[in-house]
């Protein structure tokens, strides 16, 4: 089944395992993606379970159960979905919640699937209601209902056609499992959560990526990148690529700890791995709202950022690293955040934090 081609469709981002394969394609992120489960660093418990589900499905010659992966951005959801396809020996088609807006597009994708194939829907929490409802019977009975002859189901002159879809696997990813409706979540047989990576795991990811990029990285330099990458592989890979630039221009290609230190300083990534936006976010809570609690919408307005961006991209790591806590009343900067900025929390309300 691997290697088949599909007609191009607006709602499809990518097809077939071969599209992620090339050695040095334009898209370096794809080049750095582990291809097999054994190359995927960390997430041991999830990997062990997936390996069993894959083997069992292959033994039964069945499609893998529908699989939901949830985690903050950059932790490996897309990578794992591609690995599932590779391990199962099937094709993967990739789309995402925000671009899969029309039932016709969904029908177009579903009708090109073959038995066992994987349909990967990224940002599944952003699917619109009509598509989500249409997916329920598809996921459950592999039946897609098409309404014809009337704009609405049940309208005069309308009819319902049933389309049988080959048994495929819906692999979906979300950064916000809490935003998924119950009925959709319940239809996934496998639910996997990816955690932020330990620094030692991040070190292995950095060394692995450095190998693919043919960079000679000293161990201390790799440790430094690993420690300042928000425990997130995508961030580590991004820093590594920039370090490659600095090394090539400033240090004859040699990646030493002091070169990495200099590169991180130039990128404005501090000792805790916080970037300028992280700092702006935390300092805004501390300086404008006395450390909180402050609502996300208020913060979003202050920072002129989308609240979704803040909740998806910035908050998870800041919470994990202990700089931020989320309460029912709003966001609060923790003591660790105050210590990081060398500021003292004033006991009285509305008092400005004082510089030590």
Q: What is the binding site for ligand ADP (CB under 6 A)? A: 29, 32-34, 40-42, 71, 73-79, 173, 205, 233-234, 237
List the catalytic residue out of 77, 126, 223, 331: 77
Nearest approach, Cβ of residue 27 and ligand ADP (Å): 9
List the catalytic residue out of 20, 78, 95, 169: 78
**Catalytic residue check, 77:** yes
Tell me whether residue 66 or residue 234 sits nearer to ligand ADP (CB atom): 234
CA angle 282/122/299 to nearest 5° reads 20
Nearest approach, Cβ of residue 97 and ligand ADP (Å): 13
List the catalytic residue out of 95, 169, 175, 232: 175
Nearest Cα to Cα of residue 166 among 110, 216, 126: 110
**Catalytic residue check, 234:** yes
Tell me whether residue 33 or residue 93 sits nearer to ligand ADP (CB atom): 33
- Tell me the backbone φ, ψ of residue 333, rounded to 5 degrees: -75, 130
The residue number with the shortest CB distance to ligand ADP is 76
Nearest Cα to Cα of residue 142 among 153, 131, 134: 134
Cα–Cα distance between 266 and 270 in angstroms, integer? 10
Tell me whether residue 98 or residue 149 sits nearer to ligand ADP (CB atom): 98
Cα–Cα distance between 3 and 90 in angstroms, integer? 9
**Catalytic residue check, 175:** yes
Tell me whether residue 70 or residue 144 sits nearer to ligand ADP (CB atom): 70
Strand bridging mode 143-148 / 118-122: unpaired
List the catalytic residue out of 93, 95, 112, 122: 122
Tell me whether residue 118 or residue 333 sits nearer to ligand ADP (CB atom): 118
Specify whether the backbone of 253 is left (phi greater than 0), alpha (psi in -120 to 50) or beta.
Answer: left
Nearest approach, Cβ of residue 77 and ligand ADP (Å): 3
Nearest approach, Cβ of residue 212 and ligand ADP (Å): 9
Tell whether the torsion through CA atoms of 123, 125, 131 and 136 is positive or negative.
Answer: positive
| 270 burial via Cβ count (<10 Å: 0-12, 13-18, 19+) | middle
Nearest approach, Cβ of residue 41 and ligand ADP (Å): 4
Nearest approach, Cβ of residue 72 and ligand ADP (Å): 8
Cα–Cα distances (Å) from 22 to 32, 198, 236, in that order, read 11, 29, 21
List the catalytic residue out of 33, 126, 223, 234: 234
**Catalytic residue check, 174:** no
Cα–Cα distance between 125 and 60 in angstroms, integer? 31
Tell me whether residue 34 or residue 116 sits nearer to ligand ADP (CB atom): 34
Catalytic residues, which ones?
A: 77-78, 122, 175, 234
């Amino acid at each position: 089944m691997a290697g088949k081609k599909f007609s191009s469709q607006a709602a499809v981002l990518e097809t077939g395992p071969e599209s992620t394969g090339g050695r040095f394609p334009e898209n370096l992120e794809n080049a750095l993606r582990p291809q097999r489960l054994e190359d995927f660093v960390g997430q041991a418990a999830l990997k062990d379970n997936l390996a069993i589900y894959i083997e069992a499905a292959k033994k039964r010659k069945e499609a893998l159960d529908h699989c939901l992966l949830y985690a903050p951005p950059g932790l490996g959801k897309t990578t794992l979905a591609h690995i599932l396809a590779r391990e199962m020996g099937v094709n993967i088609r990739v789309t995402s919640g925000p671009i899969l807006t029309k039932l016709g597009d969904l029908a177009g994708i579903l009708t090109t699937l073959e038995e066992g194939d994987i349909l990967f829907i990224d940002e599944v929490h952003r699917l619109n209601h009509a598509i989500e409802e249409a997916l329920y019977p598809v996921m459950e009975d592999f039946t897609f209902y098409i309404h014809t002859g009337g704009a609405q189901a049940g309208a005069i002159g309308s009819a319902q056609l049933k389309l049988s879809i080959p048994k495929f696997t819906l692999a979906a990813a979300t950064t916000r499992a809490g935003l998924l409706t119950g009925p959709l979540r319940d239809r996934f047989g496998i639910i996997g959560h990816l955690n932020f990576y330990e620094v030692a795991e991040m070190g292995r990811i950095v060394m692995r990526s450095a190998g693919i990029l043919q960079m000679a990285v000293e161990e201390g330099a790799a440790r430094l990148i690993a420690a300042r990458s928000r425990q997130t592989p995508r961030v580590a890979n991004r820093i590594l690529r920039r370090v490659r630039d600095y090394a090539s221009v400033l240090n004859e290609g040699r990646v030493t700890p002091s070169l990495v230190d200099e590169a991180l300083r130039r990128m404005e990534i501090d000792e805790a791995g916080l970037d300028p936006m992280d700092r702006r976010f935390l300092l805004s809570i501390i300086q404008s709202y006395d450390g909180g609690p402050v609502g996300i919408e208020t913060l979003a307005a202050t920072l002129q950022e989308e609240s979704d961006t803040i909740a998806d991209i910035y908050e998870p790591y800041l919470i994990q690293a202990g700089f931020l806590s989320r309460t029912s009343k709003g966001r609060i900067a923790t003591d660790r955040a105050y210590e990081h900025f060398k500021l003292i929390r004033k006991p009285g309300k509305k008092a400005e934090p004082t510089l030590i």
